[in-house]
Amino acid sequence: MKTVLSSEWLKLRSVTSTFHTIGAAALTVLLGIVWTLYVAALADERGTLRAAAPEQGFLPLVQMSLALLGVLAITSEYATGMIRTALITVPRRSTLFLSKAGIVAAVTFVAANVILFLTYATSRLLANGHHLGFNQVSFTDGLPMLLASGLSVSALALVGLGLGTAMRSTAGAIMSVVALLFVLPGVATYLPAPWNTRIATFLLPNLVPQMAGQRLSSRLGEGLLPPWAALLVLLAYPLVALTVGYYQLKRRDA
């Protein structure tokens, strides 16, 4: 197992797409700096301003970028035919798939948390002395949201890995992730009450604030799930996607 993990780690860091996706996610730090400077300038004119925290506002960029890493971790092997070599080297498909999932989860969790914490730190440093709303919250109070956000990124990357394995198509898997992250939450808001809130509660973007014990939004009201239940629902997404992906990997020839 250790050898397989080392092999998967070598494969992931040897392709340029890994650095491209992490680099795209890291743009969040730069965007957070620009956003903070912009709202700080507005606050100087108005005296006070309530603005969204950049690590929350730009979280979808981190989620989509690293979800793409999860997709490409498997679909690139199908595209190049390397999956056949991998299956010859590691005949037990469960070992190969679990190793790949473990490496993707570890890399995306570390990358996401580093990026989000850097965005948090730089924005608070630049916002010092300004009344922007988000910099009035202490680090201790903001920590649950940061950790929940980082966990959501890894969960979405594993969803991408599972869907990529099942579909063997980069475009198809990416579109499925986009639907989960952006399309379905938008559709849920137009459903009649109370189904809009009930369904939206279980959708991926709305699980992060619930895990941190915060409100969903002014439109959706309070979250219906306690933090531990929201965490379980979040973990169910990659579990289902990986189960489907493994079933297809075991069932079909490479």
Name the burial class of residue 63, with classes exposed (0-12), middle (13-18) and buried (19+) by CB atoms within 10 angstroms of its CB.
buried
Structure confidence at residue 4 (pLDDT): 83
**DSSP secondary structure letter of residue 134:** G
Range in 74-83, 113-122, 123-132, 177-186 with the lowest mean pLDDT: 123-132
Helix, strand, or coil (residue 240): helix
Structure confidence at residue 174 (pLDDT): 96
Looking at the domain assignment, is residue 69 inside a domain?
yes
Structure confidence at residue 168 (pLDDT): 92
Number of domains, the chain: 1
pLDDT at residue 83 above 90?
no
Average confidence (pLDDT) over 177-190:
92
CA distance 159 to 176: 9
Q: What pLDDT band is residue 217 in, cutting at 50, 70 and 90?
A: low
Instruction: List the one residue out of 165, 174, 175, 158 whose CA is nearest residue 75.
Output: 165
The model's pTM: 0.92
Structure confidence at residue 100 (pLDDT): 95
236 alpha carbon, distance to own chain's centre: 14
Structure confidence at residue 224 (pLDDT): 75
**Higher-scoring residue by pLDDT: 25, 15:** 25
Looking at the domain assignment, is residue 220 inside a domain?
yes
* Other CB atoms within 10 A of residue 16 CB: 8
pLDDT at residue 221 above 60?
no
Q: What pLDDT band is residue 68 in, cutting at 50, 70 and 90?
A: very high
pLDDT at residue 155 above 60?
yes
pLDDT at residue 215 above 70?
no
CA distance 183 to 169: 20
* Other CB atoms within 10 A of residue 209 CB: 21
Looking at the domain assignment, is residue 53 inside a domain?
yes
Looking at the domain assignment, is residue 208 inside a domain?
yes
Looking at the domain assignment, is residue 254 inside a domain?
no
Structure confidence at residue 148 (pLDDT): 95
Looking at the domain assignment, is residue 238 inside a domain?
yes
**Higher-scoring residue by pLDDT: 110, 52:** 110
**Higher-scoring residue by pLDDT: 8, 138:** 8
Looking at the domain assignment, is residue 153 inside a domain?
yes
Structure confidence at residue 140 (pLDDT): 82
Q: What pLDDT band is residue 109 in, cutting at 50, 70 and 90?
A: very high
Name the burial class of residue 233, with classes exposed (0-12), middle (13-18) and buried (19+) by CB atoms within 10 angstroms of its CB.
middle
Name every residue whose Cβ is closer than 8 Å to that of residue 28 and which is 6 or more positions away in sequence: 54, 55, 58, 59, 61, 62, 115, 116, 119
Task: Look up the domain containing 23 and give its range.
Answer: 2-249
**Average pLDDT score, the chain:** 89
Looking at the domain assignment, is residue 143 inside a domain?
yes
